[in-house]
Chain A
Amino acid sequence: MTADSEQLLREAMREAACQALDDRREVPPFPGAGQPARWRPTRSRGIHRFGPLTVAAAVLTIVAGATVGVAVVNANRGDDPATGTSPTAGTSPAPAPDGPNLALEIGYPVDPPVVGVETTFAVRGTGMSAEADGSIDAPVVSFGDGSPDSGPASVDNACSGDPVPIDDTFPVSHTYTQPGTYEVSASIESCGLIQTQSLTVEVSAGPAGLGLALDVSSAPEPSVAGTETTITVRGTGMTAEADGHIDYPQVSFGDGSPDAGPASIDNACSGDPVPIDDTFPVSHTYTQPGTYQVSVTIESCGLSRTQTLTVEVRAP
C-alpha cells in the first residue's frame, strides 16, 4: 500500500463524511439534558419536540393470590408544564380521553427469578397512539446488572393521522448470572410520548444455591475452511464444584468430526456455592466451506445448559 493510497483513503473518508453531515448543521440538543429517559428523536425521524408530559397517575398493583406485580405509569399530553416525574402510588389514572396517551406496565415474572434460568418480563404499552403501523416499537429494557440493554437500536417514529387505541405486549427475557436485587427499567416511546418504569426484582441463587448460565460466541472474523475457528464458551453462575470451576464444555461442531470435551464429567460437588465465571476458547478447523450448527453443553453439579451457534465457513 503506497502513501498515495493512504492519502486517497483519508481524502475519500473526509469528503464522504463531510458531504453526509454539512458543517452548517447545528449540533442537536444534548440528549441527557433534562430528558426523561431513553429516546430523543433526531432530525431524521421528523422533528418531535416533546410537549410537556404530565404524569397523571401511577398505580402499583399486586394481584392478590399470585406472584404477579404490575407497575403502571400513565401519561398524556397536557397543557400544563410537567411538574415532576415521580409516580404517585394509589392515584387513579386520568389521561385525556381522546388525545394521545401512553401507559406502561412491567409484569413481575411469574416464575421467581433464579440465577442461570431465563426470566421473562412482560412489558405492556397501552393508550392512544397515532403510530403509522398502529403499534408501538419494542421497549428498551435495562436489566440492572450491567448487561447490554435489550431493544431496538433505532426507533420508527412514523406517526400519522388520528390516534387509535393500542395494546402491545412484549415479552423480554434475560438470564441473571449472580443472585441479588436488580432494578429493571423499561422505556417505550410512541409519537413523542415516552414512558419509563422500573421494577425491583430479587434474583435468588436457586433452591440449592446453584445456578448456571451459558454464553457461546464466535470470533468476529469470518471462518475460513482450512483455518482454525475459535468459539468462546463462557459459563457463569453459582457452583459447588470441589475445585470452584466447571468442567471443559462438550462441543459438537456439526461437521461429523468427534466432539470436543472430557470423556467423563467430574461431578464432585462439595461445600457452599461460590460464584463462577469460566471462559473456554474452543478451536476447530473445518475442512469444507458451509454452514454448521455448533452445539455446546456445560455442566455443573447436576445442572446443565446447552446452546447452539451457527458458524458460516467460507472457502479460503
Chain B
Amino acid sequence: MIETVEVDIEEIYQQRWRELVRMAVLLVDDLAAAEDVVQDAFIGLHRKQGQLRSADAALAYVRTSVLNGARSVLRKRRTVRLYLRAVPPLTAEPADDAALRSVEREAALAAVRRLPRRQREVLVLRYWSELSEAEIAATLGISSGSVKSAASRGLDSVETMLRGQR
C-alpha cells in the first residue's frame, strides 16, 4: 500500500505557475498555448488529489503533464515548426558587445527550436528548469543515459548551428 498525502495544490500553483508557463513557452513558442498547457496540467493534478505521495511528486507530475501538453500542441502545429525551420540566418550587424550577445542569444534560441523534440526538452529542463540529470530522466520517463546523450547531441547541434551563422 502506497502512502498518500494531502498536497496543497493551490500553493504549488501559486509558487510554480510562472516557472511552468515559461518552461512551456520555451517548448511551444507561444504564450497563449503555454498558459493553456499549464492550466490543463493543474486541472489534471487537481484530479489526482488524494493519490499523491508528496509535494515533490505533485510537482514532478505537473511538470511531466506540461511536457505532454506541449508535445500535443506541437503535434498540431507541425506547419509552424516547418516555418521555424525556414527562418533565415540572422544577418544583423552588432553595434557593440551587448548587442552581439543579444544576437547570439536569439541565434541560440532559434537553434534550440530546430532540435529534435527530445533534445529540446532535455535542454529546456536542464538550462531553464535547472533540473539534475536524474530529475530530467524521471520527468521524461527515460534513462539517465538517454538524458546524457540527448543533452550532448543537442548541445553539439546548437554549437554547430551557431558556428554556421558566424
Contact = CB atoms under 8 A, between A and B. Distances in A.
Interface in B82-107: 101, 104-106
A1 B161 CA distance: 12
Interface string A41-59: 0111100000000000000
- What is the predominant secondary structure among interface residues of chain A facing chain B? loop
Interface string A13-45: 111111011010101101111000010101111
A221 B47 CA distance: 31
Contacts of A21: 18, 21-22, 25, 31, 34
A30 B82 CA distance: 35
The size class of the interface chain A forms with chain B is: 35 or more
A9 B128 CA distance: 9
Interface in B1-27: 9-10, 13-14, 17-18, 21-23, 25-26
A45 B32 contact: yes
A153 B42 CA distance: 13
The size class of the interface chain B forms with chain A is: 35 or more
A103 to B, nearest CB: 23
Contacts of A13: 26, 109, 112, 124, 127-128
A154 interface: yes
Interface of B: 9-10, 13-14, 17-18, 21-23, 25-26, 31-37, 39-40, 42-43, 45-46, 49, 69, 72-73, 76, 101, 104-106, 108-109, 112, 116-118, 123-124, 127-128, 152, 155-156, 158-159, 162
Interface of A: 1-2, 5-6, 8-18, 20-21, 23, 25, 27-28, 30-33, 38, 40, 42-45, 153-155, 220-222
